[in-house]
Structures are given as C-alpha cells and as structure tokens.
C-alpha cells in the first residue's frame, strides 16, 4: 500500500516532480545534444555551440508546459479517485470498507468519520425499529384488552334497548350503542395498522393484474351507494396477465381508505370521484381524486401522520380517526413505494405507488 500523505505533502511532492522532470528534460533532450552540435557564425573562424536562441526558448516553454500538465493531471486523477471512494463509502446502504484504498490523510479521516456516523445512524434506526415494534405490540395488546369490555357494553346496550324500559332512557342507550360501535371501529382500525408491523410472508402472494384490477373495481363499487359519482379508469394496453407480487388485502384496504376520504370531502351537492390505475416498470400506481376539497399546507404535510386530524378540537362527531392515510402510507412503505397528496384541479388527489417485484423491502 502507498504511504499516507496529506494534501500539502502531495502538492509539494508534485511540485518537486515537476522540477526534477524539467531539469532531466533540459539536460537529456536539450543540453547534451547541443554539446555535439557546432554552429559556424559568419565572420568567425571558430565554431561554438549556441545554447539560447528563439527556438531554445520555445522548446523550454513547451517542455515545461507538458511536464506541468502531466503532473497536475496525475494529481487531479488521484484526488478524484479517492474522492469517489469516499463518496461510495458515504452511501451507507452499500457498506464496504474501502479505507485501505485511500492514501490521502484528509480523505482517510473523512472516511473514518463517515463510517462512525453510519454506525451511529444504523444504531438509531435499529433502536427506532425496535421502539416501533414495541409500541405496535403494546397498541395491539391494549386494543385487544379494550375490545372485550366494549363488546360487553355493546351487547348489554343492545339487550337494554330491546327490553321493557322507560322511553326516556332509550336515547341514552342509543348513545351508548353509537359510542361503543365507534370505539370498536376505532380499535379495529388501530389493530389493522399495528398488524402491518408484524411480517406475515403467507399473506404476500402472486396475482395477475387482471385479479388486482377486478378486486379494486369490486371494492370501489361495493363501498358506494351511488355508483354514478365514481369513474374507474386504467390503461387498456396493460397486459392483464402480468404477474405481480404484493399484499392484496392491505392494498385493497388502502384504496378503501383513500375512497372513504374522497367521499367524505368531495363536493356535497355534486360529488365526483376519479380512480386511476397505471402499471409501469413493476410499479402499480393508484390515484384517487375528488372534487370540491382543498387542503392547507399544514394538512398536506401531516395528513399521513398517525392520529392527525384537521379538527384540532378532536370533535367526537368527526368520522375520522387519523388512521386512514397513515395506514395507506404504511402500505406504500411495505411495498417500497410512496404516498403523495396534493391539491389538483379544484380538488384533492391522493396517489399511492406500489412496487410489485418478487421481493419486498
């Protein structure tokens, strides 16, 4: 391995090489040949060598330029090579120890700091992953624990509403039923979200695009009472026999969440919803647009955050739990895809992209 040098030493070494090579070039290629040449000057009887004339200066300048250019180029190539090594090493997803290939001390120190920082980031990510799994487990356990008493409350309220009881108490019983149903729905959604943090390879399967398109179409129209408000379109040139690999149940649920938001926030008197499906380069892209809605910059930034709701007072009459788009985002992450939300054409468009290769992140 080459000796380690600093930038300053490398520049000094290059300058010294230029001087040495220039002296050698002048000595070997110019002075020595001239010693054997005699030029006779008119009017003189003796001949003597002429060392410095116009051609000599041109030769010296050219030699100096060539030597300087060559050595500067070598210096830059060496710096560029080691910069590339540090750059690729900084891509922490490609962990490869290339420190032994470096000779410039500044790059070596930078590379060591990058390695140390990568290890810290990896540790933080692993800690975050463990915390998320622990939180998901706690949420799942708490949800299961809450579900049992809620089921009892729901059953008893149903029994009371059907028994001989004074009419003045019926509104209260009805409120209990509504609240318990809402809590059970909330818990079910929370359980479904927490479930996404536990890998289940058996639920990831291969499907044809034909099956996926038909399933999405059925779910969309099953959700809506008025089928005329939705338009479902896709590229007819798609090869429907193409095999895709995904978690279909999660994908369908994600589309349903997008549709429920579209129905809720579309124009009240004249609802219009457009669902678009595209498939290209192993990416399944599903967009749901609804008219009459507008999201503020804050909502666009946080809409896919868990438990985020536009209603800061968290009104009990609000039908949203702040889980729907968070679940959609989680599904996109599981499929190595993305979720995008934006205002478009006097409405809101939510787009999920899903990688459908035969491996998942």
pTM: predicted TM-score of the whole model, two decimal places: 0.63
d(CA 41, CA 45) in angstroms, rounded, equals 8
pLDDT, residue 188, reads: 83
Q: Are 98 and 88 in contact (CB under 8 A)?
A: yes
In the numeric block, which tokens belong to residue 32?
A: 């020595």
Could you please state the CATH topology (level 3) that the domain comprising 201-355 is classified under.
Answer: Heat Shock Protein 90 (3.30.565)
pLDDT, residue 128, reads: 77
Identify the helix (H) or strand (E) that includes residue 234: strand 230-234
Spell out the domain ranges in the chain: 7-103, 122-195, 201-355
- Residues of the chain under the 70 pLDDT cut: 1-2, 30-54, 91-100, 164, 166, 199, 310-320, 358-361
Q: Are 258 and 328 in contact (CB under 8 A)?
A: yes
Could you say which of 1.10.287.130, 3.30.420.40, 1.10.150.80, 1.10.357.10 is the CATH number of the domain covering 122-195?
1.10.287.130
In the numeric block, which tokens belong to residue 336?
A: 């190595």
In the numeric block, which tokens belong to residue 145?
A: 């624990």
pLDDT, residue 318, reads: 55
Half-sphere exposure in the Cβ direction for 197 (13 Å, CA) = 18
State how beta strands 273-280 and 230-234 pair: parallel
pLDDT, residue 155, reads: 82
In the numeric block, which tokens belong to residue 33?
A: 């040949």
Q: Which residue is listed with tokens 């089928």?
A: 227
Angle, in degrees to the nearest 10, between helices 248-265 and 324-334:
150
pLDDT, residue 47, reads: 46
226: left (phi over 0), alpha (psi -120 to 50) or beta: beta
Check residue 357 and report its DSSP letter.
S
pLDDT, residue 312, reads: 59
Task: For residue range 143-168, list pLDDT tens digits in order.
Answer: 777 777 888 888 888 888 777 676 77
């Amino acid at each position: 391995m080459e000796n380690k040098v600093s930038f300053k030493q490398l520049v000094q070494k290059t300058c010294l090489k230029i001087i040495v090579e220039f002296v050698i070039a002048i000595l070997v290629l110019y002075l020595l040949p001239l010693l054997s040449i005699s030029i006779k000057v008119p009017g003189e009887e003796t001949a003597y060598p002429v060392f410095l004339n116009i051609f000599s200066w041109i030769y010296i300048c050219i030699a100096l330029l060539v030597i300087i250019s060559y050595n500067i180029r070598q210096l830059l190539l060496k710096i560029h090579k080691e910069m590339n090594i540090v750059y690729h090493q900084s891509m922490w997803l490609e962990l490869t120890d290339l420190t032994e290939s470096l000779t410039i001390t500044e790059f070596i120190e930078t590379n060591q700091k990058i390695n140390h920082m990568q290890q810290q980031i990896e540790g933080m990510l692993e800690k975050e992953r463990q915390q998320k799994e622990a939180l998901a487990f706690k949420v799942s356990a708490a949800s299961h624990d809450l579900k049992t008493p809620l089921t009892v409350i729901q059953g008893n309220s149903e029994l009371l509403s059907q028994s001989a009881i004074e009419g003045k108490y019926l509104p209260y019983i009805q409120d209990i039923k509504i609240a318990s149903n809402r809590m059970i729905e909330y818990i079910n959604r929370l359980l479904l979200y927490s479930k996404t943090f536990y890998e289940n390879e058996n639920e990831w399967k291969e499907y044809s695009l034909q099956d996926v398109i038909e399933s999405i179409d059925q779910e969309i129209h099953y959700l809506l009472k008025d089928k005329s408000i939705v338009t479902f379109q896709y590229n007819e040139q798609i090869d429907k026999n193409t095999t895709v690999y995904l978690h279909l149940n999660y994908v369908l649920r994600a589309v349903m969440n997008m549709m429920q938001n579209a129905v809720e926030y579309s124009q009240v008197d004249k609802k219009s919803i457009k669902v678009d499906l595209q498939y290209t380069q192993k990416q399944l892209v599903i967009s749901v647009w609804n008219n009459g809605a507008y999201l503020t910059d804050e909502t666009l930034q946080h809409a896919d955050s868990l438990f985020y709701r536009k209603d800061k007072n968290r009104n009990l009459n609000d039908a949203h739990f702040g889980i729907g788009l968070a679940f959609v985002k989680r599904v996109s992450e599981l499929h190595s895809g993305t979720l995008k939300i934006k205002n478009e054409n006097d409405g809101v468009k939510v787009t999920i992209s899903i990688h459908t290769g035969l491996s998942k992140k």
